[in-house]
Amino acid sequence: MEVKKNGFASKIGFILAGAGSAIGLGNLWSFPYKVYANGGAAFVVAYILSILLIGLVAMVAELYIGRRASANTVTSYSKINKKLGWVGLLVVLIPFLITCYYVVLGGWTLKFAVNSIPVLGGGDNVSIFGEFISDPVQTVVFGLIFLGLAVAIIMGGVKAGIEKMSKILMPMLFVIIIFIAIYCLCLGEGVSDGLAFYLMPDFNKLGLDGVIAAMGQAFYSMSLGMGIMVSYGSYTGKEIKLGQSAMMIAIFDTCVALIAGLGIFSAIGALSPEILANNTIEAGPTLMFVILPQVFADMGVFGYVISFLFFAMVAIAAVTSVISLLEVVSQYVIQRFKINRKKASLIIGLIMFAISIPIAWSVGGAFDGAIKVAGYDLLTLFDEATNTVLMPIGAFISCMAVGWFIDKNITPNPMATLSTLKADGLELNPTISMIFSVMVKYVTPALILLVEIAGLIGKFTDADYISMGGYIYPVIVGGLMVVASIVIFYAYLKNKTLGTNADEEIIDKTTA
């Protein structure tokens, strides 16, 4: 069998795959809501600054960690410093958990896309949400189809799977979102009210909370702190410039988020102004699965088309994010257990599917809402544990690792760090690389720490969480993962050869 050399074949393929990971549900449903809730354009300013000060720096750091080792995350972090392999293990566990619940959400988006087609689902998505998420069969079936698509792409490998599909799906997503946004902007009266609602700058509404929310969003949206960029970086050769690519990914990511908000709020303003008047926009799934179907229904016949395109686009955004999560886990399993890619992704997919079933059942009213842990549905529990607790830890350590712990080069002098990075082939323009080494050493880790601490304080004092029994459970889940990865790493993995990307070709050859 002819063995392909694994890795990204082109710069644009890599950028689109990175953008595919970055652009996800966070852009399409969290971002527009957060802008509206936190002072409009004022939030956008804070968000762009966060991308520059935190997102880009952490992204380059993670890409570099992977590029330097050309290996799975555990090997990559241990090659930065022998003591850091447990971080690599942690960042394999995080995407593992996230995928289990992300496929549930992905399944919902697929259901809404299919249901938008009159002959397939009746075309009516208004008020089906509550019933659908309580249906124990449908939620699982749609989740399985969604996960199946992602596994199929991963099986194809980095070049023929991830890169090729990103090159097809991402341009599709861009075309659809621009088309929908233009359509919504042309809906006539009310559009400007909707836009004013979305973007009217209000720095009083932003506040410290808003700034923290902007930083957290920047971070989540750039897919940081969970090994994704380490893994994708490990598949790049020197011809792909990491700084430039990270910049392009950030630009795509931010534009899609902004455009999504333009479309959503124009449509709400033009078609459902009562929502603005009553100020009844809620965060999370309600905006996407309850309010927007109502807005689409008000569009008349063309509403079916827009609704289908919209949910298909959301499903595309979700699937390209899930493949990046799956790749982190697959890459590790392939290299650690020396099994081929197809087998690895199938096994991982099956395990994730099994775990996703109780998660799907714990949301909504399936089995009379019996499946809950400490009052939480599992989706919220996993989501909080990973987003608020674990991802900042992953990104913080990534920056610290690059800034301070490359081999034994522990020096507070950014210039020394700079020369290590240069010697390692991290090519940035000279001024930028100086700024980068100061940022990665001091500024970005400090800001991430702030997000983590402020985020935790906020959650601990949040009335909703207090009434549910407290925020302590997500913290326990997160804490257990940190401890487990430290223990497993030292007990079993410390002295093991954990493999590199080159192994995959050998495994392919021997199993061909």
Q: What are the residues binding ligand PHE (CB under 6 A)?
A: 21-22, 24-27, 98, 220-221, 223, 321, 324-325
What is the smallest separation between the CB atom of 27 and ligand PHE, expressed in angstroms?
5
What is the smallest separation between the CB atom of 232 and ligand PHE, expressed in angstroms?
11
What is the smallest separation between the CB atom of 21 and ligand PHE, expressed in angstroms?
6
What is the smallest separation between the CB atom of 492 and ligand PHE, expressed in angstroms?
26
What is the smallest separation between the CB atom of 457 and ligand PHE, expressed in angstroms?
23
Of 394 and 403, nearer to ligand PHE (C-beta) is 394
Burial of 413 (0-12, 13-18, 19+ CB in 10 A): exposed
Q: Which of 56, 505, 14 shows the shortest CA–CA distance to 238?
A: 14
What is the smallest separation between the CB atom of 220 and ligand PHE, expressed in angstroms?
6
Distance set, CA 171 to CA 14, 177, 205 (Å): 14, 10, 35
Give the integer Cα–Cα distance in Å for 79 and 86: 12
Give the integer Cα–Cα distance in Å for 481 and 93: 8
What is the smallest separation between the CB atom of 235 and ligand PHE, expressed in angstroms?
17
Tokens linked to 120 = 């397939």
Of 327 and 504, nearer to ligand PHE (C-beta) is 327
Under a CB-based contact definition with an 8 Å cutoff, are residues 256 and 86 in contact? no
What is the smallest separation between the CB atom of 324 and ligand PHE, expressed in angstroms?
6
Rg from Cα positions in the chain: 22
Of 27 and 76, nearer to ligand PHE (C-beta) is 27
What is the smallest separation between the CB atom of 223 and ligand PHE, expressed in angstroms?
4
What is the smallest separation between the CB atom of 425 and ligand PHE, expressed in angstroms?
27
Burial of 461 (0-12, 13-18, 19+ CB in 10 A): exposed
Of 61 and 270, nearer to ligand PHE (C-beta) is 61
Give the integer Cα–Cα distance in Å for 195 and 267: 9
Burial of 208 (0-12, 13-18, 19+ CB in 10 A): exposed
Give the integer Cα–Cα distance in Å for 154 and 324: 9
Of 18 and 364, nearer to ligand PHE (C-beta) is 18
DSSP string, 13-30: HHHHHHHHHHSSHIIIII
Tokens linked to 461 = 């004092």
Of 229 and 271, nearer to ligand PHE (C-beta) is 229
Give the integer Cα–Cα distance in Å for 286 and 317: 18
What is the smallest separation between the CB atom of 257 and ligand PHE, expressed in angstroms?
8
| C-beta neighbour count of 373 within 10 angstroms | 14
Give the integer Cα–Cα distance in Å for 76 and 65: 6
Of 98 and 270, nearer to ligand PHE (C-beta) is 98
Phi then psi dihedrals of residue 329, to 5 deg: -70, -45
Of 94 and 498, nearer to ligand PHE (C-beta) is 94
Tokens linked to 340 = 């081929």
Of 113 and 228, nearer to ligand PHE (C-beta) is 228
Give the integer Cα–Cα distance in Å for 190 and 185: 10
Tokens linked to 261 = 């908000």
Cβ neighbours of residue 420 closer than 8 Å, sequence gap 6 or more: 406, 407, 409
Of 382 and 404, nearer to ligand PHE (C-beta) is 382
Of 259 and 325, nearer to ligand PHE (C-beta) is 325
